Amino acid sequence: MSSYIGLNNFYAPTIWSMLNNVFEEIGGVVVVDKIIYENVGRVLFFYDMEHLDSYAEPQIEGILKRVGRESKGIKTIVYSKDDSQVIVDLFYKNIALRLYGVTKLDLVPSLEDRSVREVMYMIREKLEERGYRTYDISYRDGFTIFMVEAGDKRVIVWVRKSPLTSKALELFKKIVGKYEYDKVMILRTEKTADLIKLPEELKPHIVTKADEALRCIEDMLKNQK
């Protein structure tokens, strides 16, 4: 639990920070946390959050929906399934956020069950806890990319689920072409075959746990000359 920050509920540090920024004018995460707790009625561990450009209800079979009370200008919709997994949608002005939570930490899904963006946030969080600096590069669909920096060493990390194609690789090179870096690491969270032959230095690292991804990135940074 040390990597989660708690009030009534518990939040991964990146989610805590994002909520604090989005709702700063009404009191930040302290106010939002109270609203969520009043509407859900139990303690949750929030491990992922996303901004919704357009709204659609979660497409999960058997999920239950409950509209919460509006407070401080925040509208809340709670979706739950089998009393262990909960989705909380927050609407504030023109902002729509979706939070993913569980009632127990050991229910947090593996990397294979997580969205690519969630995997990136989790890896970056762990890297920053160890003193590395990370920077955004791309959040485009299929191109979730960030930079890791340690001293004068820079590694670009591309987190991807689907197999690599020649078109995807060409676009990736265009996206990162304006950056200075030493090496590229492609992290894949699913064990599916790529559709093109890749040079050795670009062969994806298949990871199913955050610690595995962390170890791969640290090894690459340490082994640079």
- Domain span at residue 102? 5-108
pLDDT digits (tens, 9 = 90+) for 120-175: 887 888 888 888 999 999 988 889 999 999 988 999 999 988 778 888 889 999 99
pLDDT digits (tens, 9 = 90+) for 22-65: 999 999 999 999 999 999 988 998 888 888 888 888 877 788 89
Q: Are residues 120 and 198 in the same domain?
A: yes
Q: Which of 74, 108, 142 is where one domain is finished?
A: 108
Q: Which of 78, 108, 138 is where one domain is finished?
A: 108
**Of 5, 27, 30, 22, which is closest to residue 129 (Cα–Cα)?**
5
Question: What is the enclosing helix (H) or strand (E) of 50?
Answer: strand 45-51
Q: Are residues 191 and 92 in the same domain?
A: no
**116-129 vs 210-222: helix axis angle to the nearest 10?**
60
**29-40 vs 13-22: helix axis angle to the nearest 10?**
110
Number of domains comprising the chain: 2
Q: What is the pTM of this model?
A: 0.53
